[in-house]
Chain A
């Protein structure tokens, strides 16, 4: 069922035994900019109007990684759903690569891992490719190449229930990585993990696992936002507006040691204060 390493035939020419993140990026569509213009959204709850997002406007440059932090229930997930085209804004527009209706053009990682219990780890990682029309065998080949370098070798046939939290998250991340799309949308991807596993995931991501796609991360973890992104937006309480934009001053490559620097600590304190003020 699962192609063994010897059965991985190339689609033309020899392949190096290990694949650098550079090569993964090359297999993916080019970078697109993301432009969000005056987006507002409210829900009706038992006859009451519940405004969730109010007049959000921001731009993400091609290949840029931005993070949104905000208190719980500030509409962060709603924002990502709108960016993914899963929900329509009440007013305003979202342009991805200059075009509206981003549905089916993003690689979206939901808050819970969304792994399907009936699929093996490998088939879960290959889901995006399959949905987007890659034949199952080829999709599995692509996924198994990444499994080897993601430290998941030997777990291809495991069911999600047999994996640890960190491994599940890595499978979900590989699925996002393999999904074709002009932007990556990460909805609190590591929120459910314990602190230790989360910092392991951060280390793993910083070790070159991010591709160069335009990326939007929403999180309530200030440290995570600063460590991973190029720019951090602070959202207010509902209805969410942008309170503050902070450019992250640290150059890449970064590592977990970055968090120990005084600059990081002061940036973190500043951002935390802004979020805390709102959460009160």
Chain B
């Protein structure tokens, strides 16, 4: 978190660069009379967004459904794989390299095959999202479970804890901040993954909307859809951040996985 700025100021600081960029963009388009099909000004994009709000909402709902279901699939797969990697050295040796290799397969090559195998329904979209997003979660779970301090492990073992207790009392709580970090990375890919899945072949969603708008030279609608995409991704990210703060109060209040806070003054 760093030293905490007043909330309003921190918010403005985060927003300022975006506002400056938008202003520059608006000025550039107006000053040079750029063709709106080539690059519409932000004001034009906003207007297009309001005009086609109905279409955008319907498309966003579909894309969000795909993203969330795909992320749920990715989370389940990531946790299971991460746990398996941590539990078994054999799995770590055999499966981990395979997972890394799986990430080098270009989705642009794989997605059309998924459509070929699973059709134009929701399934290939979920699979694209899951394939893009499970990896950071699996790595976070495996690393998080392995990150427990040896001192704490020895402590609970000396108390007679078995494997189950060791996981429940030390490894799992220790891994949660890592899992949330992985989840934050995953959710930012989730919406993009869903749109990509739609782009390759589908009937509805933001990806389809972008495609049809592009084909009819409605560049402003494309940009409006991009804006909605960004808002959805940020929304998911914020949801995960809020969940992290609520579920891991000890972590939210300290600087990071290792604590660097000054101890409170000694009151006796």
Identify the A interface with B (CB < 8 A): 81, 84-86, 103-108, 110-112, 114, 116-118, 127-128, 130-132, 151, 158-159, 161-168, 179, 181, 185
Contact = CB atoms under 8 A, between A and B. Distances in A.
Residue of A116, A159, A185 with highest tally of chain B CB at under 10 A: A116
B266 A164 contact: yes
B261 A114 contact: no
B253 interface: yes
A102 to B, nearest CB: 9
B250 interface: yes
B268 A165 contact: no
B169 A162 contact: no
Contact of A164 (B160, B161, B259, B263): B263
Interface residues of B, number: 30
Contacts of B159: 104, 108, 127-128, 131-132, 179, 181
B37 interface: no
3 tightest CB-CB pairs across the interface, nearest first?
A104-B160, A164-B266, A108-B158
Interface in B136-192: 149, 151-152, 154-161, 165, 169-170, 173-174, 176
A164 B264 contact: yes
A85 B157 CA distance: 9
A194 B96 CA distance: 45
Contacts, number: 88
Nearest to B159: A131
A161 B154 contact: no
Contacts of A107: 158
Nearest to B155: A114
A162 B263 CA distance: 5
A86 B151 CA distance: 11
A104 B158 contact: yes
A107 B158 CA distance: 7
Given A108-B154, A159-B250, A116 B173 contact: yes
Interface of B: 149, 151-152, 154-161, 165, 169-170, 173-174, 176, 248, 250-251, 253-254, 259, 261, 263-268
Contacts of A81: 154
Contacts of A105: 160
A167 B156 contact: no
6 contacts: A103-B158, A106-B158, A114-B151, A117-B254, A131-B160, A168-B263
Given A117-B259, A167-B266, A161 B160 contact: no
Contacts of B267: 164
Contact of B263 (A85, A114, A132, A163): A163
A128 B156 CA distance: 7
A166 B266 contact: yes
Nearest to B261: A161
Residue of B155, B158, B264, B268 with highest tally of chain A CB at under 10 A: B158
A161 B156 contact: no
Given A105-B160, A151-B268, A165-B263, A86 B253 contact: no
A116 B152 contact: yes
Contacts of B261: 161-162
A103 to B, nearest CB: 7
A81 B157 CA distance: 11
Given A81-B154, A103-B157, A161 B254 contact: yes
Given A104-B158, A127-B156, A118 B173 contact: yes
Contacts of A168: 263
